[in-house]
Structure formats: structure tokens, C-alpha cells
Structure 1
Amino acid sequence: MSSGHGSGGHGQRPRRKKAEHHEEHENHERWAVSYADMMTVLVGLFIVLYSMSQVDQAKFEALRESLAAGFGHRAPSMLQGSTGALSGVEDFQIVPDLAGETGIETEQVQTPEVEITEEERTMQLAAAEYDRLAQIRDQISQALNAQGLGDRVRFRVTERGLVIGMVADDVFFSPDTATLTETALRVLDTTAPVLVGLPDQVSIEGHANVLPSSRYPTNWELSSDRATQVLRRMVEVGGLPAGRVAAVGFGEARPIDDPGVDPLEANRRVDLVVLSGISEDARVLLPSIENAHQG
């Protein structure tokens, strides 16, 4: 009797179940991730390019000036080109600022000023003032010549300004009177429009000769009345602003020293003086300039 084995043994080893192996599948869609990243970068690039093409010019200029000032340099000059992002490049130029390197302004070359002395500056001022007074004299002279009155007035430039002398025998005033003649009125009415257009103060100065007056207490009153009559005509008829004019009488204290003129007739006169407003140092040079022009 043979030894028994367990049922179903038959002397064979039990079979092992075959181990299950799950193989990892290969991801064939990995390219999509890289493609998405590339597309994201491209979209960002085009957004940046578009925003650059829509630059706010005012804000850009403010930023440029601010950065230039912060670095201690003037902002470079630019010639405006196209407003597009990539077009019009040939019309857009940037001029570098070389001031910090060479000391030369790019927009304008600064020429050094020539230093002049105080005496030269004073002489230039006096020469310019003389030219201005000469122009006033020429205007009045031309107006009088047009009326046939050119020989009734004498002009001279002194350290006070332009003197318009109404001296012509009995043409303006009769002896011992302050009554203006018809010729005097015409001269004043012709001269007034030129004086009205000036900014200068005007002094109307009456004079008398040495003969005592029989109508006035002294020649002071006579000369003052003559100046006042001229002033009233210039203001009331000629339109000369009252705030720019004054009348004064000198009596016989300031006679004209002219050997070719009768002193009794020459000092029966009124002078209209356009007072110069430049410095005294320059005004004292006016007579010498006048002499030089007279030859």
C-alpha cells in the first residue's frame, strides 16, 4: 500500500500565478506643452510691440527730459519721424548731446562776448542817444519845410537834449509882449505832432533881452508868460500831454551868445527842449558828438 499524498498532489508543485506588469505608456502629446509656451511668448511680444507703437509723446518727452536731467545732461534733440512702430525709420534721427564732452552746444554755437570798458559803453550810449535826437530833429525839420517854415527854427543838441529854438527877429514875439504871432502858431502846430509821439519830457523855456519891460514888473514875468503861452498852445491845441511838459522863465539870465545875431532880437525867444533821459555821464558827451557831426 503506497503512502498517500494529498489529493490532487500527484507530486507536482503548485503553479504560481503570473505577475501582472503594467507598462508605462509613452506621452505622445508633450510637444503641445512647448507649443503653448512658445505661443504665449509670441503673444506677449506682439502686445509689447503694439504698446510701443502707441507711445504717448508727451509722457515720453517728460520721461526723456527727467532722465536727462537726472544724469546731468541735456536731453538729445530729436527730429520727429513716423508714428508707426516699424515704418518711417529713415525719418527719425537722434542728435547726440556732445556738450558734456566737447563743451559745444549742438543747437547753437555760443560766441564769447567781447568785454568793453565802462567808458566805451558810455560812449556807445551817448552815440545812440544822439542818433535818436537827430531823428527827432529831422522829423520836425521836414514837417516845417513842408509848410515853408524851415528857416524859422534853430536846432542844437546840448548836454540836456534837443533844443528847438524859436528865434527869428519879430516872427514869434513883438518887443515886450507874450502874444504869439500867426507864424509862431503855425510853427507850434507843426511841431506838436512830433513831440506828442515821444516818451520824453519837454521843457518850454521863455527868455527876454536886457531891455526892461514896461508891461511886466520884470523880465522874469515876461519870459514866464511867453513860455506859458507856448505851453498852452502845445497842450490845448497840439495835444501834448500835460504831464510831460513844464514852462519856466529865465528872464535875461541866459542870453544867446551869437556874434551874427542881434542880441536884443535873438533873446526875445522861447526854447522847446526835448530832455534826454540817459545818464549824466553819457549826456555830457552829446555836444562833442554834435560838433563832430557838424565838422
Structure 2
Amino acid sequence: MSAPKRRRKHEEEEHVNHERWLISYSDMITVLMALFIVLFAISQVDQEKYIALRDSLAAGFMDTTTSPSVLDGTSGNLDGATVHKDTTPADGSAGMVSADNGLGLQAADPMNPQVKDPEQQLDPAVLAAAQAEAQHLQEIKERIAQALVANGLDGTVRFRIDERGLVLGLVADDVFFAPARAELTDTARLVLDVASPALVGLGENISVEGHANVIPVSGRYPTNWELSADRATQVLRHLVEVDGMPGHRIMSVGFGDTRPLVDGSDEASLAANRRVDLVVLSAAPEQVRALVPSLTAGA
């Protein structure tokens, strides 16, 4: 007797859901709708509360009765009714300084041929102060020069006026110092003694500045820095210890060969750069001092 045959189990094919994308799509639409609702909600401003907040902040930052507040503006949201004019110059001069630049000068305008004479643009007060300072420095120069001439020392000091003040150049050749030495000669002491009454009676400070030429020094000084500084110090000490210059009004410094007065390696240039300068430091404001050299040119 044969065994009964097993009936083969029929497996049905799984049904594919073709509408599954609708779930993701509906989720996305829901999120977008929530986003737009939030955006709409936060875009609505309570006009009365906004105005109250603006006024309170304005009152807290400054007194709006004396000057406009930085919070002043339109009375509501941007409504397109407020128009701000473009103040940018049409000639492309935006950003150019049109004030006095600290010197009473108008900004240079290369497109304006009417501006010819710079003195026409000067602040009258600045120009008057510069003229007064130039005259003051000239008077000091003339007083010292006349005293030197009276003592037979004409030509021993070279005068010039720059933006710092009046400069008395003591050429450091054999008249004032021996080569490679800082001791004052008898002529140097006499020049300082003759010039000191005009210098001591001033209210300005005095800077004693030693300079050297490019020739390397030998002997007691390792470099020209030490030589120039020692010469300046010797001049300062004589003015203070012998001629009565107040110590709080005078200073000394050595520049070595870093600030030559003239260029060149000839004997005249080397002698001119080997010097000690006495500088009467002008107490005038910087914008006034900047004009003084042009007012004393050729004097």
C-alpha cells in the first residue's frame, strides 16, 4: 500500500503597496505647513508694544529732547513710505576729507582748477600762529647770531629752522672737538657761553644731538655711536654746569652716522655731518610747526 502524497503548499506572492510614497509626501506637507505657520506667527508684530519698546529704549539711551535717538525711525514695520536720499557725491569724491585736515586746509581736489594758492585754504588762526612762531624763532636766531658776531665768532654756528624748531649746528671739526675726541675746545666753550644767555632765558626745551660721519672711529670709542653721544653729553654738561641751563629743560642723544645732514664722501660733507646740534624745540602745536619752515625759507 503506497504512502499518501503530500500536497505541495502553495505560496502566494506578496502584494506590493504602490501607494507607500503617499505617507512620506503627507509627512513632508505637514512639516512645511507647520513651518509656514510658525513663520507667519513670528512675523506679526504687536504695533503698540513695539512702539512702547522703542520709546523706552530711546529714553534710556539718551535724552531725546536734546538730540535725536539712534532708535528713531518709522512708526511701524517697513512700509516703503520712508525714503532715504543717497548722499554719495556724484563726482566720485566719496570718502575724501573735505574738512581742514588738522591744518585748516581743504582736501586737495585735482578736478577743481579754482584752488591754486594753498595759503588761501589755511585756517587764519593756524596761519597767524605759525607766523608768530616763525617770528619768535627768527628773533632767537638773530639774538644769538649778533652775540656771536660781537665776540668774533661769526660763522661758527650754522642756523636752520625746521618743523621741530631752531637748530644751531656746531660743526664738530677742530673748532669744537679734536678728531675722534669729545673734549670741548676753548672755542667751543666760548661759543656756548655766548649763546647760552639767549637759550637759558627761553621757555622751550633744548635737545643736544650728537652726529658723526661714516668714517669708522678708532681709539677710545668702539663706534661712532659712543663718540657722538659723548660729544652731545659734554655740550649738555657745559650748558648745565657752567652756563646755568636748568637740567629739566635739556636732554642729549647720540645718533652716530644715521642722520647725515648732507650726502657725499668729500671733506666738506664729512665735516658737515660730524656735528653737534642744539635744537630749540618749538612748543607750538604740530599743525603750526608744519608751516613754520615754509614761512622762514630763505631768511
> Partners of 2:214 and 2:190 in 1: how far apart?
28
**Residues 210-260 of structure 1: CA distance to partner in whole angstroms, max 9, x if unpaired?**
111112121111100000000000000000000000000010011111779
Contact 2:210/2:231 (8 A) holds in 1:
yes
Number of corresponding residues: 178
1:212 — aligned with what? 216
1:144 — aligned with what? 148
Opposite residue 285 of structure 1, the aligned amino acid is L
Candidates 258, 272, 294, aligned match of 1:288: 294
> Partners of 1:232 and 1:199 in 2: how far apart?
19
Whether 2:228 is the aligned partner of 1:245: answer no
**Residues 9-45 of structure 1: CA distance to partner in whole angstroms, max 9, x if unpaired?**
xxxxxxxxxxxxxxxxxxxxxxxxxxxxxxxxxxxxx
Contact 2:157/2:170 (8 A) holds in 1:
yes
Runs (4+) of structure 1 moved beyond 6 Å?
A: 258-261
Whether 2:274 is the aligned partner of 1:268: answer yes
Distance 1:262 1:190, change over 3 A: same
1:179 — aligned with what? 183
Contact 1:173/1:268 (8 A) holds in 2:
no
Sequence identity, in percent? 56
Contact 1:175/1:268 (8 A) holds in 2:
no
> Partners of 1:261 and 1:154 in 2: how far apart?
17
Give the structure-1-normalised TM-score.
0.58
Whether 2:156 is the aligned partner of 1:155: answer no
1:222 — aligned with what? 227
> Partners of 1:261 and 1:124 in 2: how far apart?
42
Distance 1:168 1:221, change over 3 A: closer
**Residues 137-156 of structure 1: CA distance to partner in whole angstroms, max 9, x if unpaired?**
11111111110002101111
Corresponding residue SS for 1:170:
coil
1:58 — aligned with what? none
Structure 2: gaps of 5 or more residues: 1-119
Structure 1: gaps of 5 or more residues: 1-115
Distance 1:282 1:261, change over 3 A: farther
Contact 1:166/1:172 (8 A) holds in 2:
yes
Give the structure-2-normalised TM-score.
0.57
After TM superposition, the structure 1 = structure 2 runs for residues 124-143 of structure 1, keeping only pairs within 5 Å, are: 124-143=128-147
**Residues 134-174 of structure 1: CA distance to partner in whole angstroms, max 9, x if unpaired?**
11111111111110002101111000000011126421112
2:56 — aligned with what? none
> Partners of 1:190 and 1:129 in 2: how far apart?
23
Distance 1:148 1:258, change over 3 A: farther
**Residues 23-79 of structure 1: CA distance to partner in whole angstroms, max 9, x if unpaired?**
xxxxxxxxxxxxxxxxxxxxxxxxxxxxxxxxxxxxxxxxxxxxxxxxxxxxxxxxx
> Partners of 2:138 and 2:267 in 1: how far apart?
24
> Partners of 2:135 and 2:235 in 1: how far apart?
27
> Partners of 1:143 and 1:169 in 2: how far apart?
22
| RMSD (CA atoms) | 1.9
2:102 — aligned with what? none
